[in-house]
C-alpha cells in the first residue's frame, strides 16, 4: 500500500505503526532550536514523520569496485551480464565414454555393441581429434566432448575389453549426458541485478563468467560518541559512582550487523566544548551520539548539533526513546540516542539502523525474523505514541516482560523479542495475535 504521493507507508515496513499525535514537520536551522534542558519537550515528532524525513534525506553511498571474492554481502551497484556462455564448450555430464549415439543403437546385455576406444579426455586435457561412427573415447565428468561425439555412455553401461575397446550393454541416444554450450548461462544473460545483496553463489557465478571485480555500493563508516563523565570503557571494573559503558558494545555490534565497514568508538566528557569538538571532528559517514540528548543540564548534543550543523528532529512520540533525535552535518546523518541502554537500542533500530542499511544499499526494513502468536496478557499503550514492548515467548503465547524500564538492559536479554504498538492503537488485548520481532537473528528460541 502506498500514499497518494507514492511513498510507502511506514507500516508497510516490517513493523507496525500509524499516525496520531501532533506531527511536527518543521526543520531547525542553526541557532534556532529551543533549549529543552531542564524545561522538557513541548511537542514530539511522530515516528512516521521522523522516518519519512530520513528516507528523503539519505540515499546509498557512492560505488566502488571490489574483487569478486570480497563481494559477498555487498550490494551490486549495477547489473552484470555474461560476456560468454557457461560452459563455453559441450562437456561430459557423466564418467564413461564419449560416443556417436547411433553407434550404440540396438545394444543390449545379451547382444552388446563393440566400439574401438581411440583416446581419452579429462577436464583441462581434451581429446584433440574427432571421432567417427564405431569409435569412442574414455571421458571424465566435466571434460570437453570431442568433435563428432554427441552422447556419453555411462560407465555402468559399458565395460572395457582389453585397453582399446568398450563393450556397450545399453543404447545411449544423441544428446544424453552431454552438457551443451550455455547450459548454465547464456551469453548476454543478466547474472546479477542491480541492488542484489550478493551471496556466495552469486560470487561463484560471476567468477564463472569471467568477472574478476564487481561494482558495489560503498559500505558506510560510523563513529560512536559515548558521552558521560560517569562512563568507563568495557573491561573496567565499576567503582564509586562510575559505571561501565554498554551502549558502545551494543552499537558497534548493531552497526556491523547492518553493513558498516568500520565503527570507531570515542568517549567524550560531559562538557559543551568537548561535545562540540567531538562532533566537529567526526569524519565518518554516520555519527551516533550515545547520551546527552535529553533535558538534563549536561545534555549538550542537541544544541551543539543545531549550531554546527542541522538538528532536524529532537523528541519523538515513542516509548522508550522519547528524547531521541537526529540531524545532519552537511549530508552526513547524526543520531542522538538516549543514554539509557534500552532507549539507545530502540532509537537505533527505528532510525539509525534503517539509515545505515540504506547508505550501504541494503533494504531499510528491519532485519529481524518474525513470529506471530496470541498474547498471554494485554499490552497497554496510548494513542499518538509508538511503544517498543519487550516480550517473551511462553510456549505458543507471548508474554510482556514485567521488568521493562529504559535502563534495564537485562530486560532485552530476558526477552525473546519485541512487539511494536503503533501510534494508532491503545495496545493489544489478551488473546490477540501479535507479531514478535525476534532478537535472535535466526529466529531460534532457546
Query: For cell 560452459, what's the residue?
Result: 87
Among 324, 267, 274, 327, CA closest to 295: 324
> What is the pLDDT at residue 60?
96
Q: What is the mean pLDDT of residues 401-418?
A: 88
Residue ranges of the chain assigned to CATH 3.40.980.10:
24-62+219-359
Kindly report, residue by residue over 346-393, the tens digit of the pLDDT.
999 999 999 999 999 999 999 999 999 999 999 999 999 999 999 999
- Judged against a pLDDT cut of 90, whether residue 33 lies above it is answered with no
Decide: 13 and 7 in contact? Cβ < 8 Å: no
- Judged against a pLDDT cut of 80, whether residue 323 lies above it is answered with yes
The percentage of the chain sitting over the pLDDT mark of 70, rounded to a whole number, equals 89
- How far is C-alpha 25 from the chain's CA centre? 30
Q: What is the CATH number of domain 370-438?
A: 2.40.340.10
Name the band, by pLDDT with cuts 50, 70 and 90, for residue 8: very low
Q: What is the mean pLDDT of residues 417-445?
A: 89
Kindly report, residue by residue over 181-219, the tens digit of the pLDDT.
999 999 999 999 999 999 999 999 999 999 999 999 999
Name the band, by pLDDT with cuts 50, 70 and 90, for residue 19: very low
The percentage of the chain sitting over the pLDDT mark of 90, rounded to a whole number, equals 81
> What is the pLDDT at residue 292?
84
Q: Looking at the domain 91-179, which fold is it?
A: Molybdopterin biosynthesis moeA protein; domain 3 (2.170.190)
CATH architecture, range 24-62+219-359: 3-Layer(aba) Sandwich (3.40)
Q: What is the mean pLDDT of residues 35-48?
A: 70
> What is the pLDDT at residue 186?
97
Select the more confidently predicted residue: 23 or 107: 107
- CA distances to 219, 356, 367, 368, 371 from 257, in Å: 12, 10, 9, 11, 21
Q: What is the mean pLDDT of residues 34-48?
A: 69
Name the band, by pLDDT with cuts 50, 70 and 90, for residue 34: low
Radius of gyration of the chain (CA): 32
> What is the pLDDT at residue 298?
79
Kindly report, residue by residue over 75-86, the tens digit of the pLDDT.
999 999 999 999
Give the number of residues written for the chain: 446
Residue ranges of the chain assigned to CATH 3.90.105.10:
64-86+183-217
Whole-angstrom distance, CA of residue 289 vs CA of residue 277? 13
- Judged against a pLDDT cut of 50, whether residue 105 lies above it is answered with yes
- Three-state SS letters, the chain: CECCCCCECHHHCCCCCCCCCCCCCCCCCCCCCCCCCCCCCCCCECHHHHHHHHHHHCCCCCEEEEEHHHCCCCEECCCEECCCCECCCCEECCCEEEECHHHHCCCCCCCCEEEEEEEEEECCECCCCECCCCEEEEECCCCECCECCCEEEEHHHEEEECCCEEEECCCCCCCCCEECCCCCECCCCEEECCCCECCHHHHHHHHHCCCCEEEEECCCEEEEEEECCCEECCCCCCECCEEECCHHHHHHHHHHHCCCCEEEEEEECCCHHHHHHHHHHCCCCEEEEECCCCCCCCCCHHHHHHHHCEEEEECECEECCCCCEEEEECCEEEEEECCCHHHHHHHHHHHHHHHHHHHCCCCCCCCCCEEEEEECCCEECCCCCEEEEEEEEECCEEEECCCCCCCCCHHHHHCCEEEEECCCCCEECCCCEEEEEECCCCCCCC
Tell me the average pLDDT of the chain. Answer: 89
- Judged against a pLDDT cut of 70, whether residue 255 lies above it is answered with yes
Residue ranges of the chain assigned to CATH 2.170.190.11:
91-179
What pTM value is reported for the model?
A: 0.83
Among 209, 134, 143, 208, CA closest to 177: 143
> What is the pLDDT at residue 295?
73
> What is the pLDDT at residue 41?
61
**Three cell numbers, residue 197:** 545483496
Name the band, by pLDDT with cuts 50, 70 and 90, for residue 402: confident
- Judged against a pLDDT cut of 50, whether residue 27 lies above it is answered with no
Whole-angstrom distance, CA of residue 211 vs CA of residue 191? 11
Kindly report, residue by residue over 54-64, the tens digit of the pLDDT.
999 999 999 99
> What is the pLDDT at residue 10?
38
Residues 6+ apart with CB under 8 A from 2: 8, 9, 12
Sign of CA dihedral 127, 133, 135, 140: positive
Q: Looking at the domain 64-86+183-217, which fold is it?
A: Molybdopterin biosynthesis moea protein, domain 2 (3.90.105)
Decide: 218 and 75 in contact? Cβ < 8 Å: no
Q: What is the mean pLDDT of residues 43-56?
A: 95
Kindly report, residue by residue over 106-132, the tens digit of the pLDDT.
999 999 999 999 999 999 999 999 999
> What is the pLDDT at residue 35?
57
Name the band, by pLDDT with cuts 50, 70 and 90, for residue 17: very low
> What is the pLDDT at residue 443?
56
Name the band, by pLDDT with cuts 50, 70 and 90, for residue 307: very high
- Judged against a pLDDT cut of 80, whether residue 30 lies above it is answered with no
Amino acid at each position: 500500500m502506498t500514499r497518494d504521493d507514492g511513498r510507502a507507508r511506514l507500516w508497510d515496513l516490517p513493523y507496525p505503526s500509524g499516525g496520531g499525535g501532533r506531527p511536527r514537520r518543521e526543520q531547525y536551522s542553526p541557532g534556532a532550536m529551543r533549549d529543552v534542558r531542564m524545561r522538557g519537550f513541548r511537542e514530539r515528532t511522530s515516528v512516521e514523520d521522523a522516518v519519512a524525513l530520513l528516507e528523503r534525506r539519505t540515499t546509498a553511498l557512492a560505488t566502488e569496485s571490489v574483487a569478486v571474492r570480497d563481494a559477498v554481502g555487498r550490494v551490486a551497484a549495477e547489473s552484470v551480464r555474461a560476456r560468454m556462455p557457461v560452459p563455453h564448450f559441450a562437456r561430459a555430464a557423466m564418467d564413461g565414454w564419449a560416443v556417436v549415439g547411433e553407434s550404440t543403437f540396438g545394444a543390449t546385455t545379451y547382444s552388446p555393441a563393440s566400439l574401438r576406444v581411440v583416446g581419452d579426455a579429462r577436464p583441462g586435457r581434451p581429446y584433440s581429434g574427432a571421432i567417427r561412427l564405431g569409435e569412442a573415447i574414455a571421458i571424465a565428468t566435466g571434460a570437453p566432448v570431442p568433435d563428432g561425439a554427441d552422447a556419453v555412455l555411462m560407465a555402468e553401461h559399458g565395460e572395457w575389453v582389453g585397453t582399446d575397446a568398450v563393450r556397450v550393454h545399453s543404447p545411449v541416444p544423441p544428446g544424453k549426458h552431454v552438457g551443451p554450450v550455455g547450459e548454465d548461462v547464456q551469453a548476454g544473460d543478466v547474472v546479477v541485478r542491480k541492488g542484489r545483496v550478493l551471496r556466495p553463489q552469486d560470487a561463484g557465478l560471476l567468477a564463472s563468467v569471467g568477472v574478476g571485480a564487481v561494482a558495489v555500493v560503498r559500505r558506510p563508516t560510523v563513529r560512536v560518541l559515548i558521552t558521560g563523565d560517569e562512563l568507563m570503557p568495557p573491561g573496567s571494573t565499576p567503582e564509586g559512582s562510575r559505571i561501565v559503558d554498554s551502549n558502545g558494545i551494543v552499537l558497534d555490534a548493531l552497526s556491523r550487523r547492518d553493513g558498516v565497514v568500520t565503527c570507531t568508538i570515542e568517549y567524550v566528557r560531559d562538557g559543551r566544548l568537548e561535545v562540540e569538538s567531538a562532533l566537529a571532528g567526526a569524519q565518518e559517514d554516520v555519527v551516533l551520539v550515545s547520551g546527552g540528548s535529553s533535558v538534563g543540564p549536561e545534555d549538550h548534543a542537541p544544541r551543539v548539533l543545531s549550531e554546527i550543523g542541522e538538528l532536524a528532529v529532537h523528541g519523538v512520540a515513542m516509548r522508550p526513546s522519547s528524547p531521541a533525535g537526529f540531524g545532519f552535518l552537511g549530508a552526513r546523518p547524526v543520531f542522538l540516542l538516549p543514554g539509557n541502554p534500552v532507549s539507545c537500542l530502540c532509537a537505533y533500530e527505528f532510525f539509525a539502523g534503517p539509515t545505515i542499511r540504506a547508505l550501504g544499499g541494503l533494504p531499510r526494513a528491519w532485519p529481524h525474523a518474525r513470529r506471530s502468536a496470541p498474547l498471554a496478557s494485554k499490552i497497554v499503550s496510548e494513542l499518538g505514541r509508538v511503544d517498543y514492548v519487550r516480550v517473551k515467548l511462553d510456549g505458543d503465547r507471548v508474554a510482556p516482560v514485567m521488568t521493562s524500564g529504559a535502563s534495564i538492559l537485562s530486560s532485552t536479554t530476558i526477552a525473546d523479542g519485541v512487539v511494536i504498538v503503533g501510534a494508532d492503537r491503545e495496545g493489544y488485548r489478551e488473546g490477540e495475535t501479535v507479531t514478535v520481532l525476534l532478537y535472535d537473528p535466526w529466529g531460534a528460541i532457546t
